[in-house]
Structure 1
Amino acid sequence: MAGVLIGLALLAFWLFSLFDVVTTPEDEVRNVPKPLWILIVVLIPLLGGLVWMARGRPRAPRAAWPVPPGPGVPKGPDDDPDFLRDLDRRMRGDDVS
């Protein structure tokens, strides 16, 4: 029974890999031309599918992490109005120390 389940899982993975190669647009395939990927996945079912998943599939576009504004975000000195006011006062010679 376990052998049948493993066999079905391998068959499902192989079919998924083959379908993924066939439906991926030609210009998004990486490293090797698309017809060669199809041959690799068909002739070497498990290893070919794993290599396709790791090296052939198109990469998903990555978005930058959004940085929410808030009190915990440090400011540069040129963005701090208090610092600029103090700097202006010191430059004019109004420094009272």
Structure 2
Amino acid sequence: MIRVLPYLVEIALLVFCLVDCIQSPPHLVRNLEKGWWIVLIILLPLVGGIAWLVAGRPVRTSAGGQWRIGSGFPADERPRTAYKRNEDDPAFMAEMARIDREHEQSLKKWEAKLAALEAEQRRNQQDGGA
């Protein structure tokens, strides 16, 4: 079994590197064209696979895409933004007051319609019941 292990490792490396190379976007492959990497991996499985992992494989970024401590975005280079609270913005507050007035007017109209419908329904019940 131990005699077979190096061959299994070599075959696993060949398959992994070949699949990884084929699935990599061509514009991200480093140092050689994608086709040459495939030829190198097939013709020299051990050397080609290791060379692909070291020199040809695209540099992978973190899946989250968010900043984490030590991710290469120092605190002094972070973009500085001046945060402004909405309550400090007079235009925003005026717009909110306008929207509140519109909602109040709509609510009063609905209440008036509902009261009229209820009054009409009571009249119909009294006329029909009497």
Shorter-normalised TM range: 0.5 to 0.7
- Kindly report the root-mean-square deviation, in angstroms, between the aligned alpha carbons of the 2 structures: 1.7
Where does structure 2 lack aligned partners over 5 or more consecutive residues?
A: 63-70, 76-130
Specify the alignment match of 1:12 in structure 2: 12
Q: How far has the Cα of 1:35 moved from its partner?
A: 0.4
> Percent of pairs identical after alignment?
37
Where does structure 1 lack aligned partners over 5 or more consecutive residues?
A: 68-97
Q: How does 1:21-36 map to 2 (within 5 A)?
A: 21-36=21-36
1:64 aligns with 2:72: yes
Higher relative CO (Cα under 8 Å, sequence separation at least 6) belongs to 1
Q: How far has the Cα of 1:3 moved from its partner?
A: 1.3
Q: Between 40-49 and 52-61, report the one with greater CA deviation.
A: 52-61
Give the Cα–Cα distance (whole angstroms) in 2 for the partners of residues 19 and 60 of structure 1: 16
Q: TM-score, normalised by structure 1?
A: 0.62
Q: TM-score, normalised by structure 2?
A: 0.47
Deviating beyond 3 angstroms after TM superposition, the runs of 4 or more aligned structure 1 residues are: none
Number of aligned residue pairs: give it. 67
